[in-house]
Copies of this chain bind each other. A is one copy, B any other.
C-alpha cells in the first residue's frame, strides 16, 4: 500500500485537499477513530464543490487512510506501524547519524566540484574563486527514503576522499579521516515544501511538507569544513529535544538532557 502519489503534480484542487487531510492524519492532528468534517463543511471552507471534496475523500480511502461508511461519514483508520519514525536527539545528532548510516543505505545522486552559491561561500568563510565539492545523497531505511542531503565541502578537504567513499561512508567520518579537527557546529531548523526533484527522490507528492535543517560544521580554527542542507520526511523522521529545568530561583534555565538521563527519566515518569 503506497501512500504517496510520487511526483504527481498536485495541481488539482481535490489533490490539494487530499494532501492537507493526509498531512493532518499522518501528523496525528486527526487521530485514528476521529471523524472528518462533512463534505459540505469542507467544500465551503475550501471554496470548492462537493464533487471536488468527494474526490479527495476517495483518494484518502484508496490510500488506506480513512474508511467511508454511508450514514457514518469518513473515519480515520489506525495507521500501520511500518512507517517507523526515526528520531534524532539534538545532543547526539551526529553520532546517531553514524550509527544510523550503518543500518541505512545511501543513494549518491550527485558528486561534483563547483563554484559555491554565495550563501554557502559566506558561511564556510571561503575566498572568492575557491571551489567546493557538492554532493547530493538520499538516505533510506528499510529501502524507504527519509532524507535528502546536499553537502558542500571546501575542495582542499574533499580531495581526500572520492565518490565511492561517499556512497559507502558518512561524510562526517570522511572529514575526520581527512585530518579535520571538528570542533563546533551551528544548526537551524525550518520547514519547506518538496520541490519536483526532491519529491521524486523522497517518493512524496510535490508540495508535501518537509523538515529543513541547515548545518555548518567548523574546525578548531573556526574555519567552515562542511555545509549541509538536509530535508527530512516528517512521517519518517523527527527531531527530539528533551530539556531539564535547572539553576536557582532567580535564574532558572533549560538544559538539554543527555540520552541516558532521558531514558531513566522516562521510566520514572511512567511509574509516577
Contacts and interface: CB of A to CB of B under 8 A. Distances in A.
Given A10-B16, A48-B9, A265-B184, A253 B91 contact: yes
Contacts of A255: 91
Nearest to A185: B243
Interface stretch (A57-65, A66-74, A135-143, A210-218): A210-218
A149 to B, nearest CB: 14
A199 to B, nearest CB: 10
Given A93-B254, A117-B31, A238-B188, A207 B19 contact: yes
B241 A189 contact: yes
A47 interface: yes
A188 B87 contact: yes
Number of copies: 2
Interface stretch (A103-111, A152-160, A161-169, A190-198): A190-198
A6 interface: no
Contacts of A11: 12-13, 16-17, 46-48
B191 A212 contact: yes
A85 to B, nearest CB: 9
Interface residues of A toward B: which range? 35 or more
B184 A244 contact: yes
Interface string A241-258: 111110000001111110
A188 B265 CA distance: 16
A253 B268 CA distance: 25
A189 B91 contact: no
A118 interface: yes
Contacts of A2: none
